[in-house]
Amino acid sequence: MSNGRTRSLSRRTVLAAGALASVAGVLTSREAHAQTWPELDLRRDFGAVGDGVADDTPAFQRAAWAISRTPEKGAVLTIPSGTYRVGQQLPADELDDWIDAQAPYIDEADLRADMYESFRVSSPMRAWRVALPIFHIGSRVGLQHLEIRGNGATMRLTEGLLFGGYVPAIDHGEGEVPGTPRDETRASSPTGFERLSYGVEAGRMIQVYGGRNIAISDLILDGSSDTLKLGGKWGDTGRQLKATGLRLMSNTDVTITNVETRNHGLDGITIAYPQAQHSDPVTPHTLVNVVSEYNGRQALSWTGGRGLKAVNCEFNHTGRVVNTGGGEGDGQPLASLPGAGIDIEPESGGLCLDATFVNCTFYNNWGAGMVTTSHERPVVTNIGNISFTRCHFWGSDNWTIYSWGPTMSYRNCAFHGSVALRPGRGLNADTAHQFLHCTFDDVSPDPSNQAVYIGDDPNLGYTAANSHLVNAEMPYLNLDHCTVRARGLGSIFSTNSSPRTLTNCTVHHDFDGSVERSSLATLRGWSIRRAKFHENISTAGSWQIVAEDVTVLGTGTRVEGGQVLWNGELSGAIPAG
């Protein structure tokens, strides 16, 4: 039984009327269109039991293969309510016999093509244990339509599967014992890179390549990550091996509704579109009322595509499940970097463009609530046009957001804990971050967990004595009609004099005196218009608002109080200039 938080699918926030209307048209057209597609039932047609005890992996495998072989290249699959245990691993030397045994359901060449596509190369199929496909539709199919109706059913991964680095049965190093845990990192590998045969995956529950018109609804995917028997580390950080709920690769026109994906060793959801270019058409993916939480690496890994929309979704508690599977790291949280709520990271020559997040939460993740990463130099063009509206971010022991990416905006969002806005690459006035009507504070939104990250990251040169809520290294940053309220740390901090704007904002210095420090804000490069700086300090002392290379525009910028002074000298109206 997984020890991550569970929740009934009926516990959902009501959709905002506008968001519901925008999605309803897509769903309605699909439901009408679906009437022309074959209708299949997981129990009736494929022998699933759904009692939480029987192994229903073969039923899901055969359902995917049957859909792949339909003349229409698509179907509607109904999963009756129940709990379906899924997930099998085989020794590598038994894989050929298993493939032969599937001949009544799928051609050998097609099955091998699917597995090769899934693993990308053949060497993972020589691992100590090989994870079999669960529900996999490969790009060879050219899927035209897939609707999975979950009816509140749960797919739960078999308890006790292996996950991590293990010595393979063949082609291993001298003196190594097959089946024993082994760290396989670039530093530890004799080849200088991770050997794929040393990595044991737990599996991918639902994986679709190269499809269109996909709708998945009313389903729970539980990865049983607390029970995984962990091997050594594999990859650059943690265990970078597949143990995933939904993995959607190179698809378009996808809608995921009322799905909970939790307790997976890697990602709750992965959305990717490798090699996507700016001139390519949009590849819409819509998530509505999706809860992805208590996963090992990410709630959502978005590594490519154009046109992602998430409404009323929760991307929370990554890296928080304690593993008790009896392997390596037993009794420790299962977590791999970045450990984020959402990681926006174009891979394989792709891009991540045109995304909207509305009424979403990014709470209590081991890594940042949202992180952007790009490998482009010197100017980032493969991330952009991403907006967050009425979203809530809480960093309990890591950044609420950690971002380099261009053309990102936040409207009416709340940030609980420190924000890291990094310098970026090639940013200009049109591509930097915009914050409109947002709030920043260092108070937890969870009464049961009052931890809040204060940004004391030694890797960035920040300590408790110079920690701040808004760490603004990014040029052309704009804060407009925002409120910053700092109690146990400073408010805004910039180490460089790149141009930034602070307009109609209110900054509350409610410092509690818990850390010795001389300043509560360091403003460099800012153009400031009609900003108000208030103080509510119950301890004796004086502090500065350091203002260097700052331009105050017009009248209306004021410092109220006598303890936190503009450059240690001024209070009241701050003159223009």
Structure tokens at 145: 């339509």
The tens digit of pLDDT for each residue in 217-268 reads 999 999 999 999 999 999 988 999 999 999 999 999 999 999 999 999 999 9
Give the pLDDT band of residue 379 (cuts 50, 70, 90): confident
Residue 252 pLDDT = 98
Query: Is residue 11 predicted with pLDDT exceeding 70?
Result: no
Give the pLDDT band of residue 29 (cuts 50, 70, 90): very low
Q: Which amino acid type is present at position 176? A: E
Residue 45 pLDDT = 99
The tens digit of pLDDT for each residue in 428-480 reads 888 889 999 999 999 999 999 999 999 999 988 898 888 999 999 999 999 99
Residue 212 pLDDT = 98
**Which residue(s) pair with 1 in the sheet?**
none
Query: Is residue 325 predicted with pLDDT exceeding 90?
Result: yes
Whole-number average pLDDT of the chain: 93
Give the pLDDT band of residue 98 (cuts 50, 70, 90): very high
CA dihedral sign of residues 93, 94, 95, 97: positive
Which pTM does this prediction carry?
0.93
Neighbouring CB atoms inside 10 A of 122's CB total: 12
The tens digit of pLDDT for each residue in 227-239 reads 999 999 999 889 9
SS (H, E, C) 523-544: EECEEEECCEEEECCCCCCCEE
Residue 30 pLDDT = 45
Q: Which class for 425: exposed (0-12), middle (13-18), buried (19 or more C-beta within 10 A)?
A: middle
CA nearest to 360, candidates 349, 369, 352, 351: 369
Query: What secondary structure letter does DSSP report for 225?
Result: G
Structure tokens at 161: 């599967």
Give the pLDDT band of residue 15 (cuts 50, 70, 90): very low
Structure tokens at 65: 């293969």
* Average pLDDT of span 550-568: 97
Give the pLDDT band of residue 190 (cuts 50, 70, 90): confident
Query: Is residue 12 predicted with pLDDT exceeding 70?
Result: no
Residue 24 pLDDT = 40
Give the pLDDT band of residue 17 (cuts 50, 70, 90): very low
The tens digit of pLDDT for each residue in 474-506 reads 999 999 999 999 999 999 999 999 999 999 999
SS (H, E, C) 171-182: CCCCCCCCCCEC
Residue 492 pLDDT = 98
* Contact (CB, 8 A) for 83 and 154: yes
Give percent of the chain with pLDDT exceeding 90: 84
The tens digit of pLDDT for each residue in 39-67 reads 999 999 999 999 999 999 999 999 999 99
Query: Is residue 524 predicted with pLDDT exceeding 60?
Result: yes
* Contact (CB, 8 A) for 563 and 543: yes
Residue 1 pLDDT = 44
Fold adopted by 17-39+134-153+201-573:
Pectate Lyase C-like (2.160.20)
Query: Is residue 34 predicted with pLDDT exceeding 60?
Result: no
* Contact (CB, 8 A) for 126 and 90: no
